[in-house]
Chains A and B, each alone.
Chain A
Amino acid sequence: MKSFPLAFFRSSIRKRIYAGFLIICVLLVLLSLVSLWGIWRINTATTTFHLLNKQADLLIGIDQATTEIQREAVRFMNEGRVSVGLSAVAKMHDLDNRLMKARSLETIGEDLKSTLERARGHLEVYEETFENAMQEKLLNDSLILMELPRISGILEKRLAAIHDAFPEENYLVALFRARTHLFSYFAELDSTLARKAFEDLDSLDLALAVLVGDDAGTSEMTPFIAETRKLLAEYRERTARSVQATRAYLYLINVVMSGEVSEIIFKANQLRASGEVRKEELKARMRALIDRISLSIILISVLAVGGGFLYAVVIARQITLPLTRITATLLDLSRGRSVSAIPGSSNADEIGDLAKSANVFHEKNVQCQYPGPLQPDHAPNP
């Protein structure tokens, strides 16, 4: 029993041509469907890509914002200008918003969320430290510019008065020396100078105490000296506070805030790297998708064009070859050559029918050329 395809290819040419058209149409429809699917997939993927790309940009942007903050923060640390410090803090707020925004993204993994959260923690410490550092700075400024000169001025007058009463020793010298040491400390940041300032003040206080203890003064000078010692103690306490404020300010700015900025930069770098990796992954995913769709379209197109071509060749050959053979046979006949039979009569299609019909003519022709005994009713007319 002949299989379906073979039987089909021996059936009517018309049917085969219609079937060919049908197959090509189906392939074209399939191609269109695949193309439509591809367009739809690319569209949705592009939307997702844009979204994820924006998110990756957000992570990368965090690093860029951090670079600006670093610049501002370092400027503040170097110059100590409050306006620059405030500008850095304002930028920190902006960065915090970015971090919060990035953290709220659904596509962000837990690890990245934790990094974002840590970066926020460092920002928080930075801001709080900034406030404290500013307090120390303002306090120190007020001590150095107002409080210490004020007390020192009063002390000068009082010590001058004591010197007038007790000219054998100049108590002012110790005060001036302490002041010089203190200012040298602020300039050189050498604790030994601060220590010397305290030693000067302590020795001055001791000298005044001796003065009172010796009872060398008149009764009216004793309370005056006691009052001066109180003032001196106040001056010492303010000086100590100023040294402490200087240390605290320097520590907060140079250690705590710098440490936080350093960590923020590191985290921002991590986020940027993560953003870049995400971008690369997205690109790769997009490329893979486009490749897949392109491949599908190419395959179906090749199938449609190749299949159609092959089908056309097969059908054409099935039509033209028998026709050529029939034509050649008929030409031979027309040239008077003897032909046994018209080829193709075994075909089940229209060409077979044509060959069979031609065969009938051929057989009739042969019979005419080699006539047998005439039958009465077929006898030629005279």
Chain B
Amino acid sequence: MKRIKAVALSPYRRDERPSSRRRFIGKMALAGTALGMPLSGFPNITGKARPHLRVLGTHVTLQEAIRRRAEADLGIRISFQPGGSAEVLHQATTRPESFDIYEQWSNSLKVLWNAQTIQPLRVDRITYWNEINDLPKNGRIAPGTRPGRGDAPHKLLYVQEDGGLGSLETERTSFLPYVHNTDSFGYDTRFIPPETPYEGESWGWLLDEKWRGRVALVNAPTIGLFDAALAVQAKGLMRFEDIGNMTRSEIDQLFDILVDYRRNGHFRGFWTSVPHSVELMDRGEVVIQSMFSPGVSTLNGMGIPCRFAAPKEGYRAWYGVMCLSSAARGEAEEAAYAFMNWWLSGWPGAFIARQGYYISNPSRSRGRMEKAEWDFWYAGKPAAKELMGTDGKVCVRPGEVRNGGSYTNRFSKVAVWNTVMDLYEYTLLRWKEFLLA
């Protein structure tokens, strides 16, 4: 019997976790002295044996196709250790020696930095640093746009003189900015008639009585909490002074509202992984819910007309961070820089665009994408032909337009970033009440 697959957010799933992963890594490390190859494009790490790079992260980017391509391009051995976000964060904060690169979302950065399990990156070693656009550097995709509340990546990017993280430009960064996206909610247009992006579509729909019992949220307080907060605010039930860093009384008020909705049977439930979110809509249990881009693509590929909303209140955005373990030294450090530079070299950005994600230096990926792909995913133009997703299935039909428009347009409308607030721990306690109300 098929189990719920690929727990991207919920950790510690036996069937998802490579049970003998550590043993495997150990064996591979012992065997890793064979087949030393020069690294194409990275002559500074021409070791005798093929270096072995261990990448810890989530399923959304640690995909086999990427690993194989990186191995082929770099001539190094790479093992991916995908897991749930909490699981990998836990591992990264407790055992820096167990990985070389950690990659997840910017909301895990404060935790890692405080735990001192990652080390600063040298800007001069990032080959395409100058190609990285302004979004992670100053929080604005274009001059005059708002940066969004919460943990915007630029606030955590640079290592400051005092050892803290900030937006003042220095020669050292805490992470490599790479994939990113704007998220919102997805809705089934068979039940909810589509409306005009940025005008009709609203986060408030998540609390619409009409969909009682058929609404789901993502079970992650650094993400789902903001979806709920945006919905409550859009509905006019309360206002936040700073939605990216709520006060205790705001958190209490928000959860009181949410618990009421939950008790009235408004929420079907809380999903813990992208496949889980797909399953909920596929089974018809849910018609509107928090969503991630790959989930929407999958549903569309299955013929379910799920639309990724462009809410008038703005998006909840996230930024992928790639960090270097504090334990990475010598060859491992070289391989890590090579891998990071590879990520910005074009092909990975083009690959990941097919699941709706953007790369921090899109211009380099443009040449690796067909014109129709670029026009659809980045330029917000109608698809000139059928477009494939990363799974090789058609996920975009001719004439379809990416909801929300172009890359610039979407990132001009960020309401809040995925954030670890000051009262994050307190929100965890209230989140439980909400889940079990």
The interface on chain A, measured as residues whose beta carbon lies within 8 A of the other chain's beta carbons, has a size of 47
Chain B residues within an 8 Å CB radius of A194: 114
Q: Which residue of B lies closest to A114 (CB)?
A: B1
A-B contact pairs, 19 of them (CB 8 A): A114-B1, A125-B10, A128-B12, A129-B12, A189-B425, A189-B429, A244-B94, A244-B111, A247-B424, A247-B425, A255-B428, A255-B431, A258-B432, A258-B435, A259-B10, A259-B272, A261-B436, A262-B270, A263-B270
Interface residues of B in 56-74 (CB under 8 A from A): none
- With A117-B3, A266-B268 known, 14 other A-B pairs at CB within 8 A are A121-B3, A125-B7, A128-B13, A189-B426, A191-B425, A195-B114, A202-B163, A244-B111, A255-B431, A256-B219, A259-B10, A259-B435, A260-B10, A261-B436
CA distance A252 to B110 in the complex (A): 19
CA distance A21 to B270 in the complex (A): 76
Residues of A within 8 A of B (CB): 70, 74, 77, 103, 113-114, 117-118, 120-122, 124-125, 128-129, 132, 188-192, 194-195, 198, 202, 237, 240-241, 243-244, 246-248, 250-256, 258-263, 266
User: Does B86 belong to the interface (CB within 8 Å)?
Assistant: yes
From B2, B14, B432, A255 is in contact (CB under 8 Å) with: B432
User: Does B393 belong to the interface (CB within 8 Å)?
Assistant: no
Identify the interface centre among A103, A237, A256: most chain B CB within 10 Å of its CB.
A256
Chain A residues within an 8 Å CB radius of B116: 237, 240
Chain B residues within an 8 Å CB radius of A103: 1
CA distance A248 to B425 in the complex (A): 10
Q: Which residue of B lies closest to A244 (CB)?
A: B93
In the complex, the answer to whether B86 meets A254 with C-beta atoms within 8 Å is no
CA distance A124 to B420 in the complex (A): 28
In the complex, the answer to whether A128 meets B422 with C-beta atoms within 8 Å is no
Chain A residues within an 8 Å CB radius of B4: 118, 121-122
CA distance A347 to B40 in the complex (A): 123
Interface residues of B in 301-337 (CB under 8 A from A): none
Identify the interface centre among A70, A113, A132, A263: most chain B CB within 10 Å of its CB.
A263
Q: Which residue of B lies closest to A202 (CB)?
A: B163
Residues of B within 8 A of A (CB): 1-4, 7, 10-15, 86, 90, 93-94, 110-111, 114-116, 163, 219-221, 268-270, 272, 420-426, 428-429, 431-432, 435-436
Closest chain-B Cβ to A345's Cβ sits at a distance in Å of: 86
Query: What are the 10 tightest A-B residue pairs by CB atom distance, in nearest-first order?
Result: A189-B425, A254-B432, A117-B1, A259-B219, A128-B12, A258-B435, A254-B428, A258-B432, A250-B428, A121-B3
Chain B residues within an 8 Å CB radius of A198: 114
Closest chain-B Cβ to A197's Cβ sits at a distance in Å of: 10
CA distance A261 to B110 in the complex (A): 29
In the complex, the answer to whether A240 meets B12 with C-beta atoms within 8 Å is no
Chain B residues within an 8 Å CB radius of A190: 422-423, 425-426
In the complex, the answer to whether B436 meets A262 with C-beta atoms within 8 Å is yes
Q: Which residue of B lies closest to A117 (CB)?
A: B1
In the complex, the answer to whether B424 meets A191 with C-beta atoms within 8 Å is yes
In the complex, the answer to whether A262 meets B94 with C-beta atoms within 8 Å is no
CA distance A216 to B114 in the complex (A): 31
CA distance A117 to B4 in the complex (A): 9
Chain B residues within an 8 Å CB radius of A124: 13-15
Q: Which residue of B lies closest to A103 (CB)?
A: B1
Chain A residues within an 8 Å CB radius of B163: 202
CA distance A240 to B422 in the complex (A): 16
CA distance A256 to B1 in the complex (A): 23
Chain A residues within an 8 Å CB radius of B11: 129, 132, 252, 256
In the complex, the answer to whether A256 meets B424 with C-beta atoms within 8 Å is no
When A129-B11, A244-B115 are in contact, do A191 and B3 touch as well, CB less than 8 Å? no
From A114, A128, A202, B2 is in contact (CB under 8 Å) with: A114
Chain B residues within an 8 Å CB radius of A122: 4
Identify the interface centre among A198, A241, A262: most chain B CB within 10 Å of its CB.
A262
CA distance A202 to B161 in the complex (A): 13
In the complex, the answer to whether A74 meets B436 with C-beta atoms within 8 Å is yes
